[in-house]
Structure 1
């Protein structure tokens, strides 16, 4: 959009495949871009809202995916609905419900690792403060990792619509709970409206996070173009980019980002529903892969976009013509880009190989043991 709100339609080269499609819900994968309240299903949200006697707008629960223009007005509409939904997520039981349902949904889609992103500031008032909010979420992540079979890590995310000093507070809080395993903080992010704030003002928070061993996963390059990606890369030194998709508009920058080993958290449904691209086939997935980028597909906000993790792989298959071997490579990329322990990654990568080999011999799902 380059701050002008225009949709971008790069040329893609989808190609048909002639193999028998394998079940993508059984493909072992990692889910690295999922927001807290946005992870809910509509029925889950209705249930939480009823418990608090909150009336939800019809547009939020009518089973029609949100579709807005790629400009500030479109983002405002998206954020308004998100804020309405978040008002229903209050109290310890609600926080635990969000984590547990997200893990259960991921388990049904073959996910081995979920790194759910949350700004505890949004939920602190209902549970007694920032620290209790984060500790409840971490405790439920640990509990539900066992119950669901999906290993759940937590990314603490600061917000561009709050003061950068607030981000430093969150970074210091996150630093107390660092770890690769379930129920631990595994990364530090920066989310919300990409047009807000001066990116360099968040460098202090990201320095605090890095010193504590937390990799950075800021949003960049979805609502704004490659110039914004360049700012984020320089100021925040990310390990992964939330979205980053519009980096392809500057091939030189794309080469630099790929060479630096920065992974892309690509969310095709989000890119289309937020007006960045006209259709799924316009999302430049193949251009990223051709450049050697490490790409992890994510669902972003299924509550508003009505599209979960497996659907992103279906899009890669149908809109971009990826073969099952290429889809397996995407799943491997998601696992490799996760912040899980190396031993867990190695086990899950073996399971991806088993999925591809087993399915080829008519035994779909062989070797796929959720959450091992």
Structure 2
């Protein structure tokens, strides 16, 4: 009986231990038909991530007791159209980035996010690894298309043009997230080198901060970040980088309106200290089982002898078939000025200052 009782106690303790920790496999499968129209070349094909980036990952959390938890998050991007991995080493794609993609890779890598965390109910979270930059979290918060697909605003596109290595994600980072204090929230982030720009280990160090207020229908935030690079005369984007971001959203019940601003500067005298600025105005309107999304964004890129601008208009509809599955369609139009040459969905322009159109029709499933 004693042995039986001992085994019963051990089994109960083991069950309790398993109950206090969990590991989840999650992801998004998003495929779409992409249509792009440009002055030189039109393109139609199957693409990925028109509504949400296709991804697969693992996340887990363990309750350590006393209001303390440990967690991890490993997330890799992939391309739904051909099954290849997407390194996510830098933001932007050749269809939306004026200077082409920064980095890509066919292998499946946990480059979207790879973090381990210690979380306290009363004091917040400390997170280590590769994660979103705080300036991106704020700068893209006003994008009603979630920085995905043909409707994504120009905010990230233009930030990538100037500060590509750190425009979206950061490696070797330590981030502290505060708890919510009566609606006020914030975060501090520091990172060390190796930001995928050919920098040495001690090149690419930086820091950033974010402060916001979210209460009821309103959510506003601001962010600032600085990254140190030795200036490289041969590289447009290498030099000390500064970034600012601001976003606001208000839910009126019948619709949610958003405003956004993002600015990036790089200290590189050879190119006249390039800088980019972007503005966003957006709206989301719930309609039955779906949602209408619309936005206008403007981007401007300035450096020696160049003042390129673009205006982008986008409208789309997402129809939820269930909590996890949705059909969607988005149409976008971009007008280039001042030498800008942004094209949509793989189309191309014969010269700058032309316009481009793009259409996404797709299916998104989250698991």
Same fold (TM over 0.5): no
**More helix by percentage:** 1
Higher strand share: 2
Instruction: Provide TM-score, normalisation by structure 1.
Output: 0.29
- Determine which structure has more spread, i.e. the larger CA radius of gyration: 2
TM-score for the superposition, normalised by structure 2? 0.29
